[in-house]
Amino acid sequence: MQEDIHDQLDPVPLPEAGVSTGMMAAGVLLLLTVIVLVVWRLRRRTLRRQRPAETAEHRARRRMAAIGTADCRAFHAQLSSILVEYFEERIALRSTRLTSAEIVREFRGNGVMSAAWQNLLEELFQECDRAKFSASECEWDAADALAKARRILDELAAQAAAAPVLANPWKGWTNARV
C-alpha cells in the first residue's frame, strides 16, 4: 500500500511576468466606472446651477395653490403658516416665533406697509386664529381667504422688491433674500 503513494508532484509553471488579462480587464472596468461617475457628478452640478432657484414668493404661491383640504381648521392653519414662513424667509422677521398679534404689531411698528395692508393682515390672521382655535365649526370662504393672502403677499413682495433695504426697527429685515 505504501508503494501506491507518490510524494512527487509534477512541476507547475510559474506565472508569466506582467499583468494578466483578468487584472487588465478589472483595471479598465474600474477606470471606466470612475470616469462615468465624474462625468455624472459634473453634469448634475451644472444642471443644478442652470435651474433657477424657486423664490420665496413662488414657493408661497405654489403652496397656497396646493392647499387642498375641506377642513376649516387645517385650511386656515396651512394658510397662516405659509404667510408666517414667507415673512421669515423673505424679510427675516422671526415670525415663526411670534403670535399673529405680535406679527401685526411688528408691521405696525415698522410703518413700511400701508395701514390698509396692515388691517388686511390683521383681519386675515384673526380669521385664521378663530378657525384654528374655536371649539365649533366655522363658516368660511376659501376663495376669499386665499384672495386676501395673495394680496398680502403681492403687496409685501412689491414693497420688498422696490426698496433696497426696508426701513425697520428690527435688525436684518432686508431685501437681500430672494
Would you say how long the chain is, in residues? 178
Distance CA 5, CA 12 (A): 20
CA dist 87 to 14, 49, 96, 97, Å? 77, 26, 9, 11
C-alpha of 174 from chain center: 20
Q: Above 60 in pLDDT, residue 169?
A: no
Residue closest to 76 by CA, chosen among 3, 142, 29, 12: 142
Distance CA 84, CA 81 (A): 5
- Which range of 5-9, 37-41, 109-113 scores highest in mean pLDDT? It is 37-41
Number of C-beta neighbours around residue 131 at 10 A? 22
Over residues 50-56, mean pLDDT: 73
Residue 98 CB partners (closer than 8 Å, separation 6+): 106
Distance CA 165, CA 160 (A): 8
Over residues 52-68, mean pLDDT: 83
Q: What pLDDT, on a 0 to 100 scale, did the predictor assign at position 173? A: 47
pLDDT in tens, 17-35: 676 778 888 889 999 999 9
Q: What pLDDT, on a 0 to 100 scale, did the predictor assign at position 107? A: 80
Q: Above 60 in pLDDT, residue 176?
A: no
Coil, helix or strand at residue 53? coil
- 11-25, 33-47, 55-69, 137-151: the lowest-pLDDT one: 11-25
Give residue 103's pLDDT band: very low, low, confident or very high (50, 70, 90). confident
DSSP single-letter state for residue 11: P
Give residue 37's pLDDT band: very low, low, confident or very high (50, 70, 90). very high
Judge whether 119 and 148 are in contact, CB under 8 Å: no
